[in-house]
Structure 1
Amino acid sequence: MAKTATSAATKALQQELKSIQKEPLEGFTVNLLNDNLFEWEVAIFGPPNTLYQGGYFKSHIKFPSDYPYSPPSVRFATKMWHPNIYENGDVCISILHPPVDDPTNTELPSEKWNPAQNVRTVMMSIISLLNEPNTYSPANVDASVMYRRYIDSKGADKEYENIIRKQVMSTRAEAERDGVKVPQTLEEYCVKASSSKDHENNNDDCILDYLDDLDPYDNNDDSDCNYNESNTDSGNEES
C-alpha cells in the first residue's frame, strides 16, 4: 500500500513539476531541493501594490508519500513577520490542513485540502494571505496585534509596515546572489498563459486576479491557527 501511494505521488509530482517548468507561473519559481522530488524550494515574489512589493521570499515545500490525497507542508526559509506564519517559518493556512473532522476547528471542509489542489493553488493562497492575514486565530500573536493596529489606524501606525518593508529590502541581496530579477510592476509580475492545449481553457492568466477583490483594511478569516510553542524553534533564518 505504501509503495503504491509513493508511486502515485511520484507520478503526480513529476507531472506537476514538468508543467510548471514548461509553463512558468506568475508570482513564484520552483526548484528541487537536493534533487528530491518530494522537497521543493519555492521562491515567492511580493505582489505589486502591496507591502511585499519587490520581495523575494524563499520557502520549502515537503510533500507526503500519499500526495495529492494529503497536503504538503510549507515553511519559509526567509525570515517572515506575519500573523499566520510561525516564528520557525511554518505556514498556517486552511488549504494546508487535512480534511479531517475536528470539533475544535472552525474551518469549513471546503476550505481545507482536497486532491484537486496543487502547488499553484497553495501558492495563490499564501500570496493572498501575505496581503490579507487572518488575525482571528493567529500563529504569531505579536505580529497579529501589530497588524491589527496597522489596520485599525488605516495605516497611520507604521510599526507593522516598517518591519515588512525592512524584510523586503533584506531579500534583495539574496535575489542578486541567485541572479533573479524580482518583478516590480503588474506587467512584469503577470505571466500570461501560452496557447498550449494545457492552458487554452485557462482564463486565470494572472495570480493578481486572485487579489483584485482584496481590501488590505478588511480582515478575512480563512485560516484556523493557534499559537504553539513547538513552532517557535529555529529554522526561519533570514536569507
Structure 2
Amino acid sequence: MATMSNSASKILQAEFKKLQQQPVEGFKIALEDDSDIFKWKVGLYGPPDTLYAGGYFRAIIKFPQDYPYSPPTFKFTTKMFHSNIYENGEVCISILHSPVNDPQSGELPSERWNPTQTVRTILLSVISLLNEPNTYSPANVDASVMYRRWKNSKGTDKEYEEIIRKQVLESRKDAEKEGVQVPMTVSEYCIKTRLPSKDSSASNDITDIFFDEDDDFGMNDDYEYEDNDDSESDNDDYGDDDSGAHDEN
C-alpha cells in the first residue's frame, strides 16, 4: 500500500506541476496543505454568457491513495443548485464513478473512470456539466425539474435562473474576501496562448465546449480571440491556474 501511495504521490505532483505550467481555462488550483498532495482546492470561474457568468465557485478534490486506479472525489464548498450536484456539494458525474459494470446506473463502463484520466479531464468535465446538466439521472431532483422547465420555456420561467443568479452573487463575496478578480468577459476568461490548437489531440478544451451557436446556454462563436501575453499572474490562495471542461453524469 505504501508503494502504491508513493506512486500516486509522484503522479499527482507531476500533474499539479503541469497544470501550473499549462492551466485549464476558468480554473485556479492550489494545495489545501502544502504537505498533502492528495487534497487540492479549486476555484472555478463561471463561464461568460452562461447563467454562471461572474461567479467564483470553490471546491475540493480528494485523491485516493491508489490514484489513478481509483477516481478522486470533487466536492463544491460553495453552495450549488444543480441537477448533478448533491446537497453536500459532491459532484455526480460518470468520469468520477469507479469502472464497474452496473446496468442499473445507465452508464457504460467506458464512460466511467479509468487510469488514463487526469485532473485536466476532470476539470473539463465539471465545467461542461455546468453547461449541460444530465437531467435523466439527477443528484438533485428539484434542480433537474426546475432546469428542464426553464429550458423548455426558453427562459420565460425565471425561477431556476433567479436561484443560480443569487448563488453567483453570493459566490462573489468569497472572491472579494480573497482578493480574486473574476473574469466577466470572454476576452478576460479565454487566453489564446494557453489554449491548444483546434487540431491538436487536446482539442476538447474550453473552445469546444462553449463556442456553439446552437447551444442556448453557451457562448456565441462569433468571438475572435486576441493574443494576451500580458495576462495577470494570480497570487491568491488558489495558485496561478485557470481553465475549462467535458463529460456527463
Do the structures match in fold with TM over 0.5? Answer: yes
> Would the aligned equivalents of 1:96 and 1:113 in 2 still touch at CA under 8 Å?
yes
> Would the aligned equivalents of 1:132 and 1:216 in 2 still touch at CA under 8 Å?
no
Q: Flag the 1:178–1:205 CA change in 2: closer, same or farther, 3 A.
A: farther
Q: Deviation per CA, 1:29-63: give whole Å up to 9, x if none.
A: 00111222100001001011100011100000000
Equivalenced residue count is: 216
Q: Flag the 1:194–1:170 CA change in 2: closer, same or farther, 3 A.
A: closer
Map of 1:236 onto structure 2: none
- How far residue 203 of structure 1 moved from its aligned partner, in angstroms, is 5.6
Map of 1:5 onto structure 2: 4
- How far residue 191 of structure 1 moved from its aligned partner, in angstroms, is 3.0
For 1:1-239, list aligned pairs within 5 A: 2-35=1-34, 36-193=36-193, 204=203, 206-213=205-212, 215-216=215-216, 222-223=248-249
Aligned letter for 2:192? K
Q: Deviation per CA, 1:99-132: give whole Å up to 9, x if none.
A: 1111312112221111121111111111111111
Name structure 2 gaps, 5 residues minimum: 219-246
- How far residue 64 of structure 1 moved from its aligned partner, in angstroms, is 0.5
The alignment's TM-score, normalised by the length of structure 2, stands at 0.81
For residues 205 and 83 of structure 1, the distance between their equivalents in structure 2, rounded to whole angstroms, comes to 23
- How far residue 79 of structure 1 moved from its aligned partner, in angstroms, is 0.2
Q: Flag the 1:208–1:194 CA change in 2: closer, same or farther, 3 A.
A: closer
Q: Flag the 1:194–1:130 CA change in 2: closer, same or farther, 3 A.
A: closer
> Would the aligned equivalents of 1:190 and 1:205 in 2 still touch at CA under 8 Å?
no
For residues 173 and 75 of structure 1, the distance between their equivalents in structure 2, rounded to whole angstroms, comes to 19
Q: Flag the 1:57–1:160 CA change in 2: closer, same or farther, 3 A.
A: same
> Would the aligned equivalents of 1:192 and 1:205 in 2 still touch at CA under 8 Å?
no
Q: Which runs of 4+ in 1 moved over 6 A?
A: none
> Would the aligned equivalents of 1:23 and 1:193 in 2 still touch at CA under 8 Å?
no
Map of 1:227 onto structure 2: none
Name structure 1 gaps, 5 residues minimum: 196-200, 224-239
> Would the aligned equivalents of 1:154 and 1:217 in 2 still touch at CA under 8 Å?
no
Report the RMSD for the aligned CA atoms in angstroms: 2.2
- How far residue 24 of structure 1 moved from its aligned partner, in angstroms, is 2.7
For residues 205 and 96 of structure 2, the distance between their equivalents in structure 1, rounded to whole angstroms, comes to 22
> Would the aligned equivalents of 1:5 and 1:65 in 2 still touch at CA under 8 Å?
yes
For residues 82 and 71 of structure 1, the distance between their equivalents in structure 2, rounded to whole angstroms, comes to 21
Q: Deviation per CA, 1:149-202: give whole Å up to 9, x if none.
A: 10111111000000001111111121111121111111211133459xxxxx66
Counterpart secondary structure, 2:42: strand
> Would the aligned equivalents of 2:131 and 2:217 in 1 still touch at CA under 8 Å?
no
Q: Equivalent pairs: percent with the same residue?
A: 59
For residues 203 and 83 of structure 1, the distance between their equivalents in structure 2, rounded to whole angstroms, comes to 27
Aligned letter for 2:48? P
Counterpart secondary structure, 1:104: helix
Q: Greater CA deviation, 103-112 or 143-152?
A: 103-112
